[in-house]
Amino acid sequence: MSESTGDAGMEEEASGTVKKFMFVNRKAPYGTVYALEALEVVLISAAFDQDVSMVFIDDGVYELVKGQNTKATGMKNFSPAYRALEGYDIEKLYVDQESLEARGLTTENLLVPVEVLNAAQMAELMDQQDIVISF
């Protein structure tokens, strides 16, 4: 581990142990720090070349709502970071259908392309993971 900064070392390490990571987002942005913390952990995990999925259920779907403007509140608008995930090879974004519907939202209201799953499909996806981390 002493040569952790070497490229060759990183690749060797990663190729041996690629695990399926799922990050479960269940909190609205801004009201608590969970959404932002989750995003930061996801970006860190991307550096380790793991197989990362992000799922958005319950109030977590609010994280992806288009048109967030925090100017008047003085808070940092971190929603553009979801658009940047693609650049870190994090392209598996899943949204729970029921959670969207209960909030009067459709994929039209979201700022990134996502795959909408029903509860059974989401459950199956969760079952396939090596590690599930919930925020």
Partner 1 sequence: MLHIVNKSPFERNALESCLRFGRDGGAVLLIEDGVYAATRGNAAEPRIRQAMGRLKVYALQPDLEARGMQDAVIDGVKLVDYGGFVDLVAEHKVAQSWL
Q: Does 87 bind partner 1 (CB under 8 A)?
A: no
Residue pair 82/63 in contact by the 8 Å Cβ criterion: yes
Of 26-34, 42-50, 87-95, 118-126, which segment contacts partner 1 by CB under 8 A? 26-34
Distance set, CA 88 to CA 44, 58, 98, 119, 135 (Å): 10, 25, 28, 27, 20
Site string for partner 1, 94-133 (x = CB under 8 A): --------xxxx---x------------------------
- Of 12, 96, 19, 87, the closest CA to residue 62 belongs to 96
Using CA atoms, how far apart are residues 25 and 48, in angstroms rounded to an integer? 20
From the list 69, 87, 120, 127, which residue makes contact with partner 1 (rule: CB under 8 A)?
Answer: 69
C-beta closer to partner 1: residue 10 or 28: 28
Task: Count other Cβ atoms within 10 Å, centred on residue 113.
Answer: 9
Q: Does 31 bind partner 1 (CB under 8 A)?
A: yes
Q: Which residues bind partner 1 (CB under 8 A)?
A: 27-32, 58-59, 62, 65-73, 75, 77, 79, 102-105, 109
